[in-house]
């Protein structure tokens, strides 16, 4: 997966690093739309003077159509507590949206899809949930590899629809674990 950056970023007086991830995902089958929704920014903030193998990680997810910067309020508190923080934009949010208004207004972000004849339906929502679960894993693995954050303690912090994204990612991970470790319960 290509990762671009690292550019300095500061939230609430705490300096971190901003990256740009690109991992293709099939949302609609329309190339320019899928590419726009597949790439996303990630901001990582580390506590000072704490070894990576003893540093828990919180991945913050904003609601649909809201930029990750709206989670900036968690950065100083968590980093001062010795916890690393990673924030990223979900599909249709912040820099991963079509309008990039950073308004959090859903109908403004969804309108370009409707204008192109793409239904904003349960199938598209399921794809958005699935890619967010995948992206949480990508962000976690990146933090492990780049910053040596190998502490097994991981928390998801969601706001608004970010709570639902986090819950889906958790249950999807548990389902995957159960199927791979215990076999499919339907067998």
User: Distance between CA atoms of 151 and 161, rounded to whole angstroms?
Assistant: 27
Q: Is 85 exposed, middle or buried (0-12, 13-18, 19+ CB in 10 A)?
A: buried
Residue 172: pLDDT over 80 = no
pLDDT digits (tens, 9 = 90+) for 87-107: 999 998 888 887 777 776 787
pLDDT digits (tens, 9 = 90+) for 48-89: 999 999 999 999 998 778 888 888 999 999 999 999 999 999
Residue 109: pLDDT over 90 = no
Close Cβ partners of 36 (under 8 Å, ≥ 6 residues apart): 96, 98
Q: Are strands 14-22 and 3-11 parallel, antiparallel or unpaired?
A: antiparallel
Q: How confident is the model at residue 175 (pLDDT cuts 50, 70, 90)?
A: low
Q: What is the pLDDT of residue 181?
A: 54
């Amino acid at each position: 997966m290509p990762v671009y950056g690292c550019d300095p970023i500061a939230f609430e007086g705490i300096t971190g690093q901003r990256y740009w991830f690109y991992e293709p995902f099939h949302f609609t089958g329309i190339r320019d739309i899928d590419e726009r929704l597949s790439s996303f920014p990630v901001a990582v903030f580390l506590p000072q003077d704490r070894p990576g193998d003893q540093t828990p990680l919180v991945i913050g997810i904003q609601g649909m159509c809201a930029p990750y910067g709206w989670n900036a309020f968690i950065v100083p508190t968590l980093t001062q507590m010795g916890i690393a923080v990673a924030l990223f934009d979900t599909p249709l949010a912040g820099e991963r949206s079509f309008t990039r208004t950073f308004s959090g207004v859903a109908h403004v972000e969804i309108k370009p899809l409707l204008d192109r004849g793409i239904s904003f339906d349960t199938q598209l929502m399921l794809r958005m949930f699935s890619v967010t679960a995948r992206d949480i894993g990508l962000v976690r693995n990146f933090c492990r590899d780049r910053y040596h954050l190998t502490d097994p303690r991981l928390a998801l912090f969601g706001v608004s629809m970010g709570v639902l994204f986090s819950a889906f990612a958790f249950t999807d991970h548990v389902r995957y674990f159960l199927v791979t470790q215990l076999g499919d319960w339907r067998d």
